């Protein structure tokens, strides 16, 4: 099951990366186009997708990052050769700056345009922009790969990604309100301390220590399930439901997913 689920996840990421090479698809993930559209008072497809990412995070946290993001596909490829763990820590906050800068720029442009007055999901679909193509097709690789090599696995997801904070806000909301959502449960008493989970976490989280603390809640967790699938003792499980305060698992819940 472990290999099968992770194979499916990596397959999905690969498909998303291939789709991303098609112009129609990457029009929906362009921060540049959001700004250009906002300058004309238009809500474009990318902004709608970012809104959908936020809505999805209210129920699925950062599962998008772990299962569908084309950038994560590039990071997974880097992880085949990069073994260095990303130290994270306070530097993780840098990505909030990139997100705030984008939000500020979009807001500024929209105000200058007299506010948003139209929605056009296919904005710029018939326009060719060499700059945008370069930014999306080559720029993504040019940014993500060096960050992985210099700072460690999934360095872009830790430090730079402007989409991550959108989903972190949604994750925080779902944890505060505590409605049914996807999360991880742990059973610390079953942990045999083998340490297998730590090296398999793509976000370099101290999984074993988190298990001992009784909770895997962490804004950097992308719900990839590697820790679930590499724990032979079955300590960590996916669950969909209302998480308890610590997301610990004193006994097997009915909604646990193998």
Give the interface with ligand SF4 as residue ranges (CB under 6 A).
Answer: 191-197, 201-203, 205, 207-208, 211, 216, 221-227, 231, 233, 235-236
Q: Contact at 8 Å (CB) between 123 and 30? A: no
Q: Cβ(230)–Cβ(2) under 8 Å? A: yes
Helix runs in 21-93, H state only: 23-26, 31-38, 45-60, 63-67, 70-79
Two structure tokens written together for 229:
């699938």
Closest to ligand SF4 by CB, 180 vs 195, is 195
Min dist CB 173 to ligand SF4, Å, is: 19
C-beta closer to ligand SF4: residue 148 or 224: 224
Of residues 30 and 226, the one with the C-beta less far from ligand SF4? 226
Whole-angstrom distance, CA of residue 226 vs CA of residue 230: 6
| Residue placing its CB nearer to ligand SF4 in the complex, 110 or 224 | 224
Token representation of residue 152:
């460690």
Query: On the CB side of 116, how many CA atoms lie within 13 Å of its CA?
Result: 15
Of 147 and 227, CB closest to ligand SF4? 227
Nearer to ligand SF4, 36 or 205 (CB): 205
How far is Cα of residue 108 from the mean position of the Cα atoms in its chain?
A: 26
Q: C-beta of 216: minimal distance to ligand SF4 in Å? A: 5
Q: Which residues, in sequence order, are bridge partners of residue 248?
A: 186
Smallest separation, CB 152 to ligand SF4 (Å)? 14
Smallest gap, in angstroms, from Cβ of residue 63 to ligand SF4?
9
From the list 202, 199, 197, the residue with the least C-alpha distance to 157 is 202
User: C-beta of 55: minimal distance to ligand SF4 in Å?
Assistant: 21
> What's the CA dihedral at 35, 41, 44, 49 to 10 degrees?
80
- Min dist CB 223 to ligand SF4, Å, is 5
């Amino acid at each position: 099951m472990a290999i099968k689920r992770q194979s499916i996840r990596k397959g999905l990421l690969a498909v998303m990366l291939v789709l991303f090479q098609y112009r129609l698809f990457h029009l929906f993930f362009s921060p540049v186009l959001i700004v250009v559209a906002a300058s004309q008072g238009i809500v474009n497809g990318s902004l709608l997708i970012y809104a959908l990412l936020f809505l999805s995070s209210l129920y699925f946290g950062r599962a998008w990052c772990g299962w569908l993001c084309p950038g994560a596909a590039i990071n997974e490829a880097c992880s085949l050769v990069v073994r260095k763990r990303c130290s994270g820590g306070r530097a993780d906050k840098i990505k909030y700056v990139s997100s705030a800068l984008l939000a500020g720029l979009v807001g500024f442009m929209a105000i200058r345009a007299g506010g948003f007055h139209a929605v056009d999901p296919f904005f710029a679909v018939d326009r060719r922009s060499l700059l945008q193509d370069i930014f999306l097709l080559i720029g993504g690789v040019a940014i993500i790969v060096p960050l992985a090599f210099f700072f460690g696995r999934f360095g872009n997801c830790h430090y730079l990604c402007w989409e991550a904070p959108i989903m972190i806000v949604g994750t925080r909301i779902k944890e505060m309100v505590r409605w049914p959502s996807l999360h991880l449960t742990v059973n610390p008493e079953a942990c045999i301390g083998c340490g297998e989970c730590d090296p398999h976490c793509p976000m370099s989280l101290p999984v074993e220590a988190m298990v001992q603390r009784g909770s895997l809640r962490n804004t950097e967790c992308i719900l990839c399930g590697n820790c679930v699938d590499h724990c032979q003792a079955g300590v960590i499980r996916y669950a969909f439901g209302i998480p308890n305060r610590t997301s610990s698992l004193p006994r097997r819940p009915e909604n646990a997913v193998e």
